Each structure stands twice: as structure tokens, then as C-alpha cells.
Amino acid sequence: MLLRELTASVDHVRGAGPATVKALGRLGVSSVAGLLSHYPRDWEDRSREVPLRDFNKADAVCTTVTVLAHDWFGAGRMRTLKVYVQDNSARAALVCFNRSFLEKQLVPGRRYRLWGRFMYKYGEIQSSSFEFEAFSEGENPGRIVPIYPLTRDLTQKRLRDIIACALKQYAAHLENEVPLQILKKEALLSKAAALEAVHFPPDVHRLEQAKKTLIYEELFYLELMVGKRAMEKRSVAVREAPAREAEKVLLQQRLLERLPFSLTRGQEDAVAELNRDMDSPYPMARLLQGDVGSGKTLVSFMAALKAVERGGQAVIMAPTELLARQHAENAAKLLEPLGLRIAFLTGNLKAGGRGNLLKALASGEIDIAVGTHALFSKDVVYKKLNLVVVDEQHRFGVLQRHAIMEKGSRPDLLMMSATPIPRTLALTVFGDLDVSVIRDLPPGRKPVRTHLAMESNEARVYEFIRGELKKGRQAYFVYPLIEANAEQDLKDAQSMARRLAEQIFPDYSTALVHSRLDEEEKRTTMERFRDGTVQILVATSVVEVGVDVPNATCMTIEHAERFGLSALHQLRGRVGRGGEQSYCFLVYSDELTDDGKTRLRVMLENQDGFVIAEEDLKLRGPGQIIGIEQSGYLRLALADPLRDQALLERAREAAFALLKDDPLFSKAENQVIAEVLRRAPPFSELAL
Ligand code: ADP
Ligand code: MG
């Protein structure tokens, strides 16, 4: 029997009464399978003696005591039992808040094994958080005890008892879910043994083996699913492969001839890779990674040109209207002269114009549609959508990426991101994507000089920026809030826009942009900043993605400690886009948390987005990385792809080898896998 076949309700477990069943329900545990995979969140090693005297030298005391006497204090409902105990090192008091029933269980004169957290209070060693068991002579008292996630009306002891019962009733019948050869090769335990040992490990070594077994199993199934999906993508051709080497794409050549610069090596390689993908019979699924400013937009235009030359349509989707508009303007500037028809589609179009636009998309009069999530609104129909480009892909959820793909018939997909995905994650959630990386920046870029400044020194920062403005450059000022907020004593964009315009830089033109302004106002403001009419742009993190104004050389982020690393890096990436030396000032307030300090130091010491992303991952953990939450990644119960990287790579290798050998799991020894995947895929959805 498979673990997941134990769908019987927990009330089938001997000793699980209605109250326990209800409490378990609150933990999300309703079936026997759920109960057995309610893994401990920690294990307490009670094989090591810690006498009462050493209560403050270790986390917890672990000793054998004799009960000396009972005492009561308080009155009425507050009446509380106190039990005095003693081991061979010291005396202590157990304070039994709301546990008067312990009067009967802790009998004076008898011996008990005792575990608990103690402190020195009112002249004695005390604990109100302890557990005990009757001591029996001759039995090895030491063992490792599971600590479970709990809920109201459930104690560790109750949960342990129930799980022990469930293991006794069911474990022996459980089948292995990882093929036997692999179990042997990796020296893993059987499923039954692993479950038993993860809940009630006889010793540390066995616990490690049990954890390794269950982690391996999770990763193995994760990779099976990743591999299976990658295979499915390549199972049905969407086009014929070109007979000989693909011809040069004329539109691409013409664009390159018109550019005032040539592609960087990284851009060239990326274009070559996507051309190859788009020539293969199977749909492209490629992730293009490149630091801010590496020129990914141009690469996506090259892909669009190939799709169009082949008679299809392309969409380029961006997460904000500001960025989408900028892409649309660039596309108009660069691609319309080649005879392409570009449309800009957002949620803010007026009914009339929108109607016409939708008609043009449906009839194929439009070649490239640039826009926001409006591109996949219900009523939008494409004649022949062949390429989907998702810019800043981490800003979109899985469902949104799905929705846009559904508008075509297995279109090519190019996802772009300036937030590098560490290799381990690339193997899991993005495991069925091909990856291109642009490592270089266009020539002539100078690294942005970054300075930290205390809030009290802001006047010096403003002075420096005045010097840059005098030279004809432009500046950004970014704040964590749009408007003043009574609860937070922070500078906000609105008030600072006024202050900067009226008091600090009265001789320069200042404008404000944030997410609550209407699109028309945002658009005109950005246009005026781009053409230089406005020299100072005061903003919130709306300018984080994509905005490209090469003449802006100063980025000041106030309350920088309030921003995450990836936001800081993206914001800094708004400057340093032209040939001039650029500057970034991170202004911080005095009460810096340790985390805030670390982030600012990382920014000061690093320019490389890949390094910064790795640091970010270390600080926040993989679950927090945007775009990963929705991906099913968090369904991993024990495994952590970062920590378990070596195991992950081996599981991946084994899973892929098995898929290659028996893609449909038709061999007898792989029936179990087919069954597991058929019953309930362990991972609901992966990245795409
Ligand atoms: P990102 O990768 O951050 O999306 P963009 O596509 O916005 O970067 O490009 C940043 C800037 O670099 C744009 O102004 C773009 O025109 C310019 N650019 C792109 N490729 C090159 C190149 N090969 N040489 C010089 N400038 C380039
Ligand atoms: Mg970009």
C-alpha cells in the first residue's frame, strides 16, 4: 500500500477520540496519511544528561529526579500546584500552571525522567515548561524525542501517542515509493522504516538516515515531474525543422544594421540560442537572465522579428504600464521602420480605441503587441500568436504566465529576468527551461559609485547632486512611502517632492511619480523626465523595473534600509545607463536593524546582480524569492533544495535516467511511480 492510499480518516487510528480528531483537523491533518507525514519540526536529544545544576548551560535540563513534596499557592481559580523535585545535583520547583491534575501523576517519593527549560526565579530553580515520564530501572532512559507543530487542545505527548499508534497499525504495510535499486545505491531506508525513524528515532544516525530517505524521495518525485514535463514539451512538434541550417532572419539583419551600436557578446549568444530554439520542431521555453542594463529588451525584439518573419504574431508582456509603454515606444522607434505594426495594450484603453485594436489583433493586422496583463484579457484574440515574451518574469504569477500562453497554440516562450535564479532553484522550479545568460554589459558603462549616508548627512548628498544637475545630468529620489503616514515616521515621496522642489532645488524642475497617479499623468511625467524638461524625478519603487533614462546619473534612495536587496539593486540599475559616471546614495536612518546593515553592506560591496541575488537568497531563504511562492516549491515538506543541493543533483540524475529508460513507467518495477503520479502528483504546479 502507498502512503497516499491511506486516505482513511484519522479516527481509524486506535485511541483517536473526537477531541483529538478535531484538534488534528486544525493542523490540516485529516487522514492517516496526513498524520504519518506530519513530520516533527525538531527533535530533542534526551540521550544526553543535563543535571538541574547546569540548567543555564544548556537549552534544557534532562535528568532523573525524585519528587520531594507538593505545595500550593494562589487562591480560587488561580490556585496553582508546585512540585519540588531533586536530582543528584540540585533541587528545583515545577510550577504547574493549569495542570493541577499533575498532583496525582507526580507522586512524592517516586522517581521520574524529567525534561524542561529552567530558570532562576524567587530564589529557586524553576520551570513551568517541562515534561516527565515515570522512571523504570534498567531501561535505557536516553532517546530522541520528536517535537511537532502543535495547535490548541493538543499536546506533544498526545500527538506522539497517536502517531505511535498509527505507525503500529499501518507502517508495516507501506510500500517503497523510490525504486529498490536506488534505495540500495543511496543507502536509504525503506519507506516504513524511514517513517518510523523520523518520528521515533532510536539514535541520531538513524534519524539522519530517515531524513535523508524522505528528503530524497521528495526530490526524486520533484525531478521526475520536472523531467516528465520537459519531455512532454518535446513530444509533439509544432513545426518542421528547417532542412538545412536556418537562413539568416532578414528582419533581424535589418534591425542590426540600423542600430547605432553592435550587440554585446552575451546578446549575440542569446540571439543565436533563441534562433536555434525557434528553428527546432518544438516550442521554445527559454529563460533569459541578464543583469539590469544588459540589454535584454533588444534580444526580445530579435525574437519577435523572427516570429513575425515566419508569419506569426508576438506579444511582449511587462509587469507595469510604465515599463510596457517604454517597450512599446522602443519597439515603435526600432521596429516600425522595418514595416512592422506595433500595438500597445493596457487596461486603461478607452472602449473605442480598444475595440479597433482587438479587431486588428484578431485579423493579424498587428504583428507585435506590447502591454501589461491586459494582453491576456478574456476578449483578446490573436490570429496566430507564435511568441510570448514575459519581461521581468518574476513579477508574474504562474497563472498569469499560463493565461498568456493559452492565447496561442503552444507558442514559443521567452522569459526574461534581472533577478538571477540560483542554480539549485533553476534545477527545481525552472527545471524544464533552457537558460541563456548575458554576462556582459554594453561597452562604456562605468560601475555606479555607491555611497552610504546617514540621514543626518543628507545635506551633503543634496549638495553633491546639485553639482551633477549643474553639469546637465538628472537625478532620481526614491522613498518608501507615497504619502505621510501617522504610524511611520518616514519621509514620503509627496512631501519630499514638495521640499526638494521648493527648498532644496528651487532652480530645477521636479516631478513626482507613484503608482496611485493616473496613467496619463505618469506617462507625461516620464516623457518630461526622458526629454530632460524635468531634471529631478521623485518616486516610489514604481521606477524599480525597466525605466531607462541614460542621462540620469544620480539615484538617491532614502530610508534605504526599508528596501529589499533586489529592489535596491534594480533601483540602482536605473543609473549608469549612459557613458557618464553615475552615483547611488543609500541614505539610512539611525535605527538600523542587523538585517538592514547587512543589506546595505552587500550593496556597497557588490555590483553584480548575480552575487546580490545569492546574498538575498541567503538572507531571506528560498521561499521568499518572488515568483517561487506560487510555484509549488513550498510543498516540499522536509527537503530544502539549497541545503540539500548534493542530494537534489543525485535525485535529478536518477529521475532523468529512469525517465529515459522507461518514459511511461511501464516496467513492473516502476508501477509504483506511475501509481504515485496518477493518484496525486506531489507537486501541484511547477513554474510553467
Ligand atoms: P535590461 O536588460 O535591464 O532590460 P535594457 O534592455 O533596458 O536592459 O537596455 C539598457 C540600455 O542599453 C538601453 O538604453 C539599450 O538601448 C542599451 N543597449 C542595449 N544593448 C546595447 C548594446 N549592445 N550596446 C549599447 N547599448 C545597448
Ligand atoms: Mg528590462
Q: At 457, give phi and psi (nearest 5°).
A: -100, 15
3-state secondary structure 567-619: HHHHHHCCCCCCCCCCEEEEEECCCCCHHHHHHHHHHHHCCCHHHHHHHHHHH
pLDDT band at 644; cut points 50, 70, 90:
confident
Per-residue pLDDT reduced to its tens digit, 398-457: 778 888 989 999 999 999 988 776 666 666 666 778 889 998 889 888 899 999 999 989
Q: 296 CA distance to ligand 1 centroid (A)?
A: 7
* One fold for 48-142 and 269-279+295-417: no
Higher pLDDT, 352 or 69: 69
Per-residue pLDDT reduced to its tens digit, 74-86: 888 889 999 999 9
Atom of ligand 1 nearest to the CA of 438: 2
The whole-number pLDDT of residue 201 equals 93
pLDDT at residue 142 tops 70: no
CA nearest 686: which of 435, 401, 377, 282?
A: 401
Domain 269-279+295-417 has CATH 3.40.50.300: yes
State which residues have CB under 5 angstroms from ligand 2, the bound ion.
546
313: exposed, middle or buried (C-beta count within 10 Å: 0-12, 13-18, 19+)? buried
The whole-number pLDDT of residue 399 equals 76
Q: Which residues of 208-219 are buried (b: 16+ CB within 10 A; e: fewer)?
A: ebbbbbbbbbbb
Within 352-509, strands assigned E span 368-371, 385-390, 412-417, 434-438, 449-454, 474-478
Percent of the chain with pLDDT over 70: 93
CA atoms within 13 A on the CB side of 303: 36
Per-residue pLDDT reduced to its tens digit, 490-526: 899 999 999 999 999 999 999 999 989 888 898 899 9
pLDDT at residue 296 tops 50: yes
Per-residue pLDDT reduced to its tens digit, 363-397: 999 999 999 999 999 999 999 999 999 998 877 87
Beta bridge partners of 190: none
Atom of ligand 1 nearest to the CA of 550: 14
Atom of ligand 1 nearest to the CA of 292: 3
Per-residue pLDDT reduced to its tens digit, 177-224: 999 999 999 999 999 999 999 999 998 899 999 999 999 999 899 888
Q: 267 CA distance to ligand 1 centroid (A)?
A: 10
Q: Which residues line ligand 1 (CB under 6 A)?
A: 261, 263-264, 267, 290, 292-298, 418, 442, 548, 550, 577
The whole-number pLDDT of residue 680 equals 60
Residue 426 one-letter amino acid: A
* From 414, 548, 569, mutation site for ligand 1 pocket: most ligand atoms within 8 A of C-beta: 548
Contact 631, 581 (CB under 8 A): no
The whole-number pLDDT of residue 264 equals 96
CA nearest 685: which of 429, 392, 432, 433?
A: 429
Q: Which residues of 99-136 are buried (b: 16+ CB within 10 A; e: fewer)?
A: beeeeeebeeeebbbbbbebeeeeeebbbbebbbeeee
Residue nearest to atom 24 of ligand 1 (CA): 442
DSSP per-residue letters across 60-122: SEEEEEEEEEEEEES-GGG-EEEEEEE-SS-EEEEEETT-TTHHHHS-TT-EEEEEEEEEEET
Q: 298 CA distance to ligand 1 centroid (A)?
A: 7
Residue nearest to atom 23 of ligand 1 (CA): 263
- The residues spanned by each domain of the chain are 48-142, 269-279+295-417, 449-606
Start-to-end CA distance of the chain, whole Å, equals 32
CA nearest 82: which of 63, 92, 95?
A: 95
Kindly state the helix (H) or strand (E) to which residue 131 belongs, with its residue range: strand 124-134
pLDDT band at 626; cut points 50, 70, 90:
very low
Residue 538 one-letter amino acid: V
Per-residue pLDDT reduced to its tens digit, 325-349: 889 999 999 999 999 999 999 887 7
What three-state secondary structure class fits 653?
Answer: helix
CA nearest 283: which of 385, 418, 392?
A: 385
Residue nearest to atom 18 of ligand 1 (CA): 295
In angstroms, the CA 285 to CA 289 distance is: 13
In angstroms, the CA 65 to CA 94 distance is: 11
270: exposed, middle or buried (C-beta count within 10 Å: 0-12, 13-18, 19+)? buried
Residue nearest to atom 10 of ligand 1 (CA): 293
Atom of ligand 1 nearest to the CA of 391: 4
Higher pLDDT, 374 or 684: 374
Q: 213 CA distance to ligand 1 centroid (A)?
A: 47
The whole-number pLDDT of residue 592 equals 82
pLDDT at residue 575 tops 90: yes
The whole-number pLDDT of residue 424 equals 62
Q: 436 CA distance to ligand 2 centroid (A)?
A: 15
Fold of 48-142: OB fold (Dihydrolipoamide Acetyltransferase, E2P) (2.40.50)
pLDDT at residue 138 tops 80: no
Atom of ligand 1 nearest to the CA of 263: 23
Q: What is the mean pLDDT of the chain?
A: 88
Would you report the helix, strand and coil content of the chain in percent, each value rounded to 5? 45, 20, 40
Residue nearest to atom 15 of ligand 1 (CA): 295
Least confident piece of the model among 37-41, 260-264, 618-622, 623-627: 623-627
The whole-number pLDDT of residue 150 equals 81
pLDDT at residue 629 tops 60: no
The whole-number pLDDT of residue 136 equals 74
The whole-number pLDDT of residue 523 equals 86
Number of helices (H) and strands (E), helices first, in the chain? 22, 20
* From 292, 294, 417, 543, mutation site for ligand 1 pocket: most ligand atoms within 8 A of C-beta: 294
Within 439-518, strands assigned E span 449-454, 474-478, 510-513
The whole-number pLDDT of residue 622 equals 54
pLDDT band at 681; cut points 50, 70, 90:
low
What three-state secondary structure class fits 147?
Answer: strand
List Cβ neighbours of 358 (8 Å cut-off, separation of 6 or more): 379, 380, 381
Residue nearest to atom 19 of ligand 1 (CA): 295
Atom of ligand 1 nearest to the CA of 290: 2
Residue 108 one-letter amino acid: P
CATH level 2 (architecture), domain 449-606 = 3-Layer(aba) Sandwich (3.40)
The whole-number pLDDT of residue 422 equals 66
The whole-number pLDDT of residue 428 equals 67
Per-residue pLDDT reduced to its tens digit, 225-264: 888 888 887 778 888 876 565 567 799 999 999 999 999 9
Q: 264 CA distance to ligand 1 centroid (A)?
A: 10
Residue nearest to atom 26 of ligand 1 (CA): 442
Q: How far from chain centre, in Å, is Cα 448?
A: 28
In angstroms, the CA 621 to CA 615 distance is: 10
* From 261, 288, 299, mutation site for ligand 1 pocket: most ligand atoms within 8 A of C-beta: 261
Sign of CA dihedral 189, 192, 198, 200: negative
Atom of ligand 1 nearest to the CA of 294: 2
C-alpha distances in Å from residue 175, one per residue of 167, 202, 208, 227, 670: 14, 22, 21, 23, 12
